[in-house]
Every structure is written in structure tokens, then in C-alpha cells.
Amino acid sequence: MKVATIFTVLATSVFADAPVVEHVETTVLDAGGWRFDVTLSHPDTGWDHYADGWAVVDSDGRDLGLRELAHPHETEQPFTRSLAINGPLPEVVYLTARCSVDGWADHPFEVSLR
């Protein structure tokens, strides 16, 4: 019985869906920065497993901005949240999402800021 219980927990973690960046809208700010409106999807189940953030990074993986998500969105999927980053950014950035159980998703979303 214990073996089946352990297998079930492991199978759930291995096959869990990662958060996905579905869409990104960018806006140039008057102060010289950028606003990112990012739409994510993730099968949030509540406080035990939810998309808890997304980041803007450069091509070397350096963090340019992080948007923490303070609560689950199990009844609001997909959902959009924003982040403003002041100062110049490279011509191409990448967005990646994170969940509270599985960490950072493997597939970044490329955004051209030309």
C-alpha cells in the first residue's frame, strides 16, 4: 500500500503541467522602460500548487525583472499580470514562468523589443 501511495505522488510531480506564457504585450514607457502584460496558463489547484511568478531575462539568463504572483488563480485561467521595468533593455528578451511545485518552466517565450 505504501508503494502505491509513493508512486502516485511521484507520478503527479513528473507529469504536472508547467506554467505556460501564452501571450505578451509590451509598451514603451515615457520614462524609458518597458511594461510587460503577460498572459499565463497553469492548472492551478490552490495554495498547494500554482503559478507563482514569471521573469524577464536576457539571452545569458540574467534576471531583468521578476513578477511574483501572490496567490493561486485556479478559477481564472488564463490570467494576465503586468510588470514595468525601468531603463534600457536588450532588443530581445525571454519570459519564463514558475510554479510553486515544479519551479521554472523549460521553454522561454522570446520577445522582440525592436
Domains in the chain: boundaries: 17-112
pLDDT at res. 76: 83
Of residues 44, 24, 43, 22, the one with CA closest to residue 34 = 24
Q: In CATH, which superfamily holds the domain spanning 17-112?
A: Immunoglobulins (2.60.40.10)
At residue 2, does pLDDT exceed 70?
no
Instruction: Give the model confidence (pLDDT) of 17-37 as tens digits.
Output: 889 999 999 999 988 899 999
pLDDT at res. 11: 40
Instruction: Give the model confidence (pLDDT) of 87-108 as tens digits.
Output: 899 999 999 999 999 999 998 9
Confidence band of 65 (pLDDT split at 50, 70, 90): very high
pTM for this prediction: 0.81
